[in-house]
Amino acid sequence: MKPILVLQHAHYDWPGYFTDCLINWEIPFELVNIAAGDALPLSIVDYSGFGIMGGGMSVHDTDEYPHLLEAVELIYEAMSLGIPVIGHCLGGQLLAKASGGTVQKAPHKEIGWHTVTPKHDNLAYQWFGGITPVTLFEWHNEFFIPPLRAHNLASSLYCQNQAFVLDDIHLGMQFHCEALPEKINHWLDTAREDLHDANDANVHSVERIQRENWLYIENAMAAARQLYLKWLSNLQIDDKIRQQITLCAMFLALFLFIKKSSTHTNFEQKPVIMRKTLIHQGLMMKTHSKTALFSLLLAGSLWQTAAYADTHASSDSSKTLPVEPWHPHSYELKPIAQTAPTEADSNTTGLKLGAKNKIELYGTVEIGYSKWSHKN
């Protein structure tokens, strides 16, 4: 498999959770760090995908940052060859510009943890794994307006264009789903001048951001995994491997269906919750081969389709979990206790930071309309 080309513009905006996922899923990639003096390749043909990170510069700052023009040229070439492109914040803005959209100053900049709401359509459902709002991290002064042929996937209170997709393979995002607390705290330490007008509306205070990092990061990581896997499913693989993957996915979907049905009751009333749980827990498993990775993705897609049909096809509303209206924080992890538990206090509930910045959950938490117990 050809590697994915990953473009890092600035030393402070490293790939974060994006390349963490690629490493964990054993997907090869090549990092080009402009801040470290690396140069972009002349062509994208030797790569299976193009991942573009964010940065404090504007897409219009091409005189100061000439590599931005080179990036746009690579996006042109990737789109013409059907090579998937994924852009985070500035990367999404570059994708919008290259595809005929525009980038302009935002009426209201967004900094902090903001609720992003997927559109109520099938395409948004496929990319986000549902239509439930999710709280994601934002830090931008400009925003993209995608071209007319693009499909808008999500919006927030202060920005109507949070994500878009082109040709169902190229994904542009305004939010930072790759940002883990380490990266966010680094920004808070080095770019506090951006927070001088903090109002806890569109611009959050340092204290609020630090407090909410641990409240929302787990769901943000789950959303990122869903988006990344959907994007990775568009990478070019040969037909023989695709047939093997599809067969494995069918068996895996059946296995997970039986397993979840046996461990959770009241399935008919909670198809969406069960689908969420399947994907959330399934993607946490470490995969050791490309077949396992794509089998898991396709299994999740099959389960999404079944859950979506089950939710919308039934005429008996008593057996259907309503899709709308949802509480803005449905499926957000809500620790019952506000403080992290100590080793001696086994009855306390909360979140803690484990090895490699992995959030570990213990005790009982509420997710939407259901409660789950997890033991480490």
pLDDT in tens, 178-237: 999 999 999 999 988 888 888 889 999 999 999 999 999 999 999 999 999 999 999 975
Residue 173 and residue 291 share a domain = no
Question: Could you say which of 174, 206, 232 is where a domain stops?
Answer: 232
Cβ(17)–Cβ(224) below 8 Å? yes
Among candidate residues 232, 253, 283, the one where a domain is terminated: 232
Residues 45 and 143 in one domain: yes
| Two structure tokens written together for 166 | 């082109």
Whether residues 68 and 148 share a domain: the answer is yes
**Same domain flag for 194 and 244:** no
> Are 214 and 255 contained in the same domain?
no
User: Residues 131, 257: one domain?
Assistant: no
Residue 342 placed within a domain: yes
Domain co-membership, 270 together with 145: no
Domain boundary among 232, 260, 286: 232
Q: Which structural domain range is residue 297 located in?
A: 239-318
Q: What is the pLDDT of residues 224-233, one digit of tens each?
A: 999 999 999 9
The answer to whether residue 326 is domain-embedded is no
Q: 96: which DSSP letter?
A: H
Q: Specify the pTM.
A: 0.68
Interatomic CA distance for residues 119 and 153, integer angstroms: 5
Domain count, the chain: 3
33, 106: one domain: yes
Asked whether residue 325 is domain-assigned, the answer is no
Q: Do residues 221 and 277 both lie within one domain?
A: no
Whether residue 177 is found in the same domain as residue 212: yes
166-175, 224-233, 250-259, 326-335: least confident range: 326-335
Residue 336 pLDDT: 32
CA distance readout (Å), 76 to 4, 79, 82, 237, 283: 16, 5, 10, 22, 32
Burial class (CB in 10 A: 0-12, 13-18, 19+), 68: buried
Residues 198 and 278 in one domain: no
Tokens of 10: 């600035």
How many CB atoms sit inside 10 A of residue 284's CB?
Answer: 12
